[in-house]
Structure 1
Amino acid sequence: MAYVTPAPLTEKSTRTDALTPLGLLTVLLGAALSSIDFFIVNVALPSMGRDLRASPATLEMVVAGYAVAYAVLLVLGGRLGDTYGRGKLFRWGVAAFGLTSLACGLAPGAWWLVGARVAQGAASALMLPQVLATIHATTRGERRAKAVALYGSVSGLGVVLGQVLGGVLVAADLAGTGWRMAFLVNVPVAVAALLCAVRAVPDSRAERPRRGDIGGTLLLGAALTALLLPLSEGRATGWPLWSVLLLAAAPLFAWAFAAVERRAENTGGSPLLPPSLLREPGVRRGLVLGLPIFIGFSGWMFVSAVTLQQGLGYGALKAGLTLVPMGLAQFAASILAPGVAARFGGRAMGVAALVHASGLVILALTALWVPWSSLGPLALAPGLAVCGLGQGVELALYYRIVLAAVPAARAGAGSGLAATVQQSCLAVGVATVGSLFLALAAGPGMREAFAIVLGVQVVGLLGLAALSLRLPRRLA
């Protein structure tokens, strides 16, 4: 499997190595903002509920509104970058993210906050696809491998940082802002990222811009909404009839979307997500690998948050800081990922999956053997660190494998597709693994539920290791 030679860039970026270190840092900062804000609200939800007098279902909408808008619009955001310029769309996305963060932080009521979070998710969907697309179109060789590895690390590390930062900001209660600072802190960061983007992020686009695909956009949005909204809201609202009907409609919307896109490509049209892109073996292989990675990752983050705060009685700050060893190990592993891939090739994914599974086994044994009342952060640190080592390599290799087969002219669509799979799996992971955990916690107990769910995730990682055997021995 080899990289397709990048297509010529526009006059604003004429070299394939046009992305400077400052430009790379800037686009990675944009990726971090999107990832952090997906999770930063988790630890702030109780404070929001008290301040805004919001019901649990409304608080779930604060999370789900962002997640659904984010996932639904990612492919469209990538397509717009391919057509109008990735650097330009990145700058617009950063600016919109800063403004919507300000709207969230100043929200006078719960439904204002829900609406602002939907808009914030849309801004993230505009910004994030340009990150991978810009890396793919303006770097090559070893520089591209290192940049993609860093992207994978930032994407995963942002989840941990979101939990930690949310706990720190809520506990600090700066100037009496409480939960609002979890959003307001984004504003100066977005301003700094925007200034750097104007200077350092090159513009690139598809050599032959494509027309819009209104029908495909609407059908993809309907399919993802029908899948993700019930998965995000159904558990909190007791699985009402509307959630069941939407889930039943999701496959129908997906079938209609596939038919429309296939017809558009066969007749020389401009499909939002070209079916030929999914026929690339590397793309399909990478997307399948992403299923156990992200479903397990999001399930773990949900289970760990509930276990630490409700099961062990940790405060928001202590719970966030407990995950620091995992985040640090994950970042270190992502730095080493290109070297690991160069040595082991496709087998590196299998090795990472086995390391990750070992960390989960250590955590499960720790939870079962150490007295529950005295299970502190230090006891959990070894298992968390080993998990982080595996996750860092997994995330880096996922994007590398997917994008290796994507032509530079379709970099936006490819990165949007990879990110859409990621975000969709995050919702599926919480709905499946999270629901299993809550059901077990109500029966055998939280300690036993924690260990059983970790065992289920180990099975998924063993499947990931088996799938990796089909990867080529050398990764491009």
Structure 2
Amino acid sequence: MSKAGQTEQPATAGPPVTPEAPEPDPKRWLALAVLLVATFMDLLDANIITVAIPAIQRDLGASAVAVQAMTAGYTLSFAVLLITGGRLGDIFGRKRMFLTGVAGFVVASALCAAAQSTEMLVASRVLQGLAAAVMVPQVLALIHVTFAPQEVGRVVSLYASMIGMAIVCGPVIGGALVDWSPLGLGWRSIFVVNLPVGVAALVGAWRWMRESNSPHAKRLDIVGMLLAIGGLLLLMLPLTLGRELGWPAWSIVSLVAAAPVGVAFVLYERHKTRKDGSPLVTLSLFKVRAFGAGIGVQLLFSAVPAGFFLSWTLYLQGGLGWSALHTGLTAVPFSVCVPLVGSFAVRRLSPRYGRYCLLAGALMMLAGIASYAWVADRTGADITSWHAVPAMILLGSGMGLLMPPLTALVLREVTPQEAGAASGIINATGQLGAALGVAVIGGVFFSALGANAGPQADRALPEHRAVAPQHVTAVRTCATDSLGQDDLTKVPPSCTMLLDGADAGGREAIAGALGDIRGRTFQTTYSETLYWTAAGLIPVTGLLFLLPHHRVRKQEAAV
């Protein structure tokens, strides 16, 4: 185990060799392809539904509450069962649980595609999330126990790149499927596409994947599982739905109640460890410096890209009117840089420079976010995808320098028998951090949007002389009302009254003024939000100094 300060030792991105580690599997790279496809399928499904929501509303008559339930149902069911899903793999076999999760995901996807009501679609989405929670923790666990230490870093960089690709590809693929409507399926095609992919993953996993489990923890910790699920639900539910519902009293109570439930979970896990050595989470994992500090970094770091891409999508599609395809293509430089830089980082930079590699990644991401804010503020409505290229390169390169080495470092000293539980914790932490980022950065964005609407209207209206003087105040009111609400697609009564009271020429002038105000408000709000998002990387940078500073000797690095 590493000590504080710099350690001179042969560094690998993976875990130490242990007597329990199996011989390298000759089919491990084929198995890895299956694991990466399953990872992409899960993350794609978490993001793809957003662009299909209007079509689903038209077809099924889904209410705003039902729409929230479609997205939140998947996220919540997935997040709260991740730790349990990881431990199930340790106990019953990681290959077996992976196959179970993929099969459940395929069945749930078929039910989503066949849904005839919003209730059926919501229930199927919840089932999808539960299946994903069984499937996903096995990915990192199988990587950890399947690959040799010198291979783990490169494999984790591929895993991280798959995450980045899925985040930006979701809206693109979803938009293309909904627009093209293959076989006349419309929005249902976004779920049908999972069926052949999932079946292929099942066949590949069955043929190429080696079974593994933990020789310990043979009993399922039911009480610990219920406490973990309850605590995560109390945290995730308000973070996921609180802002959209206006932070009702129950959401605050839920957040407060999460603390004592978390304490109860820790106390019970200590008792369970003393009693029979079969806890849901081995708390001694957090005494390992690389794991404990790394989980803290993972929590805060996950909030930044989640918050960035939320505000980015709202800005481009809601403010500038870009299509989902246009938006997704703008992120191509990010998607390309994550795997390229990540692979180089885990093989060359992280072993040679230790945690300085991760620090460089955090600073590069900060520079990328700040530069995008500056460009958006200067170019306004004239911004193009080309303006975003330098910022996206910085963001993708920074994430490549930080995320793959961090994941490999967190797993570094985890024993193979704890791989499933550790993977579940890593994934659950990432989900919690993402929810935190969406809640906080989303809250900042929407609050600033409402606050900026009035001042931007005052600046824009004098330039729109075609707007009749008697309509100027009403246009300002309409702009502030429409941009100050949580659902930006709704038309407030003030706008309806304004348009009903104007003739055809007046409506055209009013629409032009409202469009200009909307664009200016989104531009200003997005820049402000990005500066706050960049500030979120400051505590991440500070926490990185708590990580062990593993470096290879200079002569070994030169080999």
TM-score bracket, normalised by the shorter chain, equals: over 0.9
3-state SS, counterpart of residue 550 of structure 2: coil
Please, which of 432, 437, 448 is the counterpart of residue 429 of structure 1? 437
Counterpart residue number, 2:497: none
Q: Does 1:458 align with 2:458?
A: no
3-state SS, counterpart of residue 466 of structure 1: helix
Q: Deviations over 1:233-256 (max 9, x none)?
A: 122222223323222211121111
Output aligned runs, 1:126-275, within 5 Å.
126-275=134-283
Counterpart residue number, 1:387: 395
Q: Deviations over 1:27-74 (max 9, x none)?
A: 111111112111111222222222221122211111111111111111
Please, which of 403, 408, 411 is the counterpart of residue 400 of structure 1? 408
Q: 2: CA distance between counterparts of 1:297 and 1:408?
A: 30
Please, which of 92, 98, 123 is the counterpart of residue 84 of structure 1? 92
- State the one-letter code of the partner of 2:356: R
Deviation at 1:390, TM superposition (A): 0.9
Deviation at 1:24, TM superposition (A): 1.0
Counterpart residue number, 2:76: 68
Q: 1: CA distance between counterparts of 2:108 and 2:225?
A: 23
Q: Which has the larger radius of gyration?
A: 2
Between 446-455 and 188-197, the greater mean CA deviation after superposition: 446-455
Q: 1: CA distance between counterparts of 2:406 and 2:75?
A: 21
Instruction: Verify the 8 A CA contact 2:82 2:137 in the aligned structure 1.
Output: yes
- State the one-letter code of the partner of 1:39: N
Q: Matched residues, percent identical?
A: 34
Q: 1: CA distance between counterparts of 2:412 and 2:350?
A: 13
Counterpart residue number, 2:457: none
Please, which of 358, 361, 364 is the counterpart of residue 352 of structure 1? 361
Deviation at 1:17, TM superposition (A): 4.5
Q: 1: CA distance between counterparts of 2:226 and 2:78?
A: 15
Deviation at 1:469, TM superposition (A): 2.9
Q: 2: CA distance between counterparts of 1:102 and 1:146?
A: 34
Please, which of 6, 9, 17 is the counterpart of residue 5 of structure 1? 17
Counterpart residue number, 2:523: 447
Q: 2: CA distance between counterparts of 1:475 and 1:203?
A: 33
CA RMSD of the aligned region, Å? 1.7
Instruction: Verify the 8 A CA contact 2:352 2:551 in the aligned structure 1.
Output: no
Distance 1:244 1:461, change over 3 A: closer
Q: 2: CA distance between counterparts of 1:96 and 1:63?
A: 18
3-state SS, counterpart of residue 470 of structure 1: coil
Distance 1:208 1:19, change over 3 A: farther
Counterpart residue number, 2:305: 297
Number of residue equivalences: 471
Q: Does 1:283 align with 2:291?
A: yes
Deviation at 1:18, TM superposition (A): 5.2
Deviation at 1:457, TM superposition (A): 2.0
Q: 2: CA distance between counterparts of 1:474 and 1:220?
A: 33
Q: 2: CA distance between counterparts of 1:98 and 1:465?
A: 40
- State the one-letter code of the partner of 1:453: T
Deviation at 1:285, TM superposition (A): 0.9
3-state SS, counterpart of residue 235 of structure 1: coil
Q: 2: CA distance between counterparts of 1:103 and 1:455?
A: 42
Counterpart residue number, 1:58: 66
Q: 1: CA distance between counterparts of 2:18 and 2:528?
A: 46
Question: Which structure 2 segments of 5+ residues have no match?
Answer: 3-10, 453-520, 553-559
Deviation at 1:216, TM superposition (A): 0.6
Question: Which structure 1 segments of 5+ residues have no match?
Answer: none
TM-score (norm 2): 0.81
